Chain A
């Protein structure tokens, strides 16, 4: 049978395929997407792709921390006013040569040669599988066991910058004043631990771009936003497997 002929066949659906059969393919890293000619021909895709097709938002109940902090970025609302950066720098003593959060920009072609500017706020993603933590030789950077924030213990940092190299998101800088790496900690020391409910950047944003919240609180705006059925939610560089907790969407 030729490939052309195969394409014309009707997909009989993989529901009736025995689960041992599916598992056998999963072991090779493949998932069955279709059955043809009474099960004698299978259509396969890589299991990894099948997983990423489900989207970057973990299933409800699968948030390992409590509270499980997140930031949802409603990207198309960002106007690069940079009030967030000012608030962050002031709150967390960020020097002018570094940043804990910044705004990237790019131009995108829209209809008939017209261009649209897109501003993209970025910060530490407080990854569930943080490459920075894995490589730190002194455990100066660690993922808090309770709330999942990726924190710094400045005293332990020897300034080797291995974490800077490991972070796929460029979220770290070397702070001369501390002789240590500095990074976003969701304002844990400066605000959250003092009873504030929002980070400085989220509180300063006039456009409702940065929605800070707790994914284990199903009534929170952040939880609701990323679970709207009609919206596309994405994370940056999902292929690194770091599992970010900063989600992006267009409102």
Chain B
């Protein structure tokens, strides 16, 4: 009988701790994402000059502490998709410090000619993120 009581008490204690953790993570940990402060939540997915290059605002603003005017409007216009209309939106420009290359220079952030797949999600990533049907992968009939 005594043992039973004890285990019941333990359960209550455990529940209390779990409750506290959930509560505290809500109150301090997960700050709500505010699009006004941190930019659109949906990833920006470029298709030019190569398909499937992904930019996530949250990583750069909320996590890394940049503000809107660090990049807008000097490096990037506010309207999504403007940069990819430019003929100089290329890796070479990045190496010269334009666009993402302003920070991704190996000093402030990893250099633009390293860790390719951190930003390049490819055609597969493009299809996954935009919901486009993969091309040329129709079921094979034998």
Contact = CB atoms under 8 A, between A and B. Distances in A.
B121 interface: yes
Interface string B119-142: 011111100000000011111111
A80 B52 contact: yes
A81 interface: yes
A105 B138 CA distance: 19
A81 B140 contact: no
A174 B50 CA distance: 30
B50 A79 contact: yes
Contacts of A225: none
Interface string A95-137: 0111100010100000000001111000000000000000000
Nearest to A173: B140
A96 B136 contact: yes
Contacts of B115: 116
Contacts of B140: 97-98, 173
Nearest to B141: A97
A81 B122 contact: yes
A33 B15 CA distance: 59
A65 to B, nearest CB: 32
B136 A80 contact: no
Given A97-B140, A118-B117, A207-B116, A83 B50 contact: yes
B98 interface: no
Contacts of B135: 96
A119 to B, nearest CB: 6
A166 interface: no
From A82, A103, A105, name the one whose CB has the most chain B CB atoms within 10 angstroms.
A82
Interface string A182-206: 0000000000000000000000001
B51 interface: yes
A161 B142 CA distance: 10
A119 B136 contact: no
B123 A80 contact: yes
Contacts of B120: 79-81
Interface of B: 49-52, 115-118, 120-125, 135-142
13 contacts: A80-B52, A80-B120, A80-B123, A81-B122, A82-B51, A82-B122, A85-B136, A89-B136, A96-B135, A97-B141, A117-B117, A117-B121, A117-B122
Interface of A: 76-83, 85, 89, 96-99, 103, 105, 116-119, 161, 173-174, 206-207
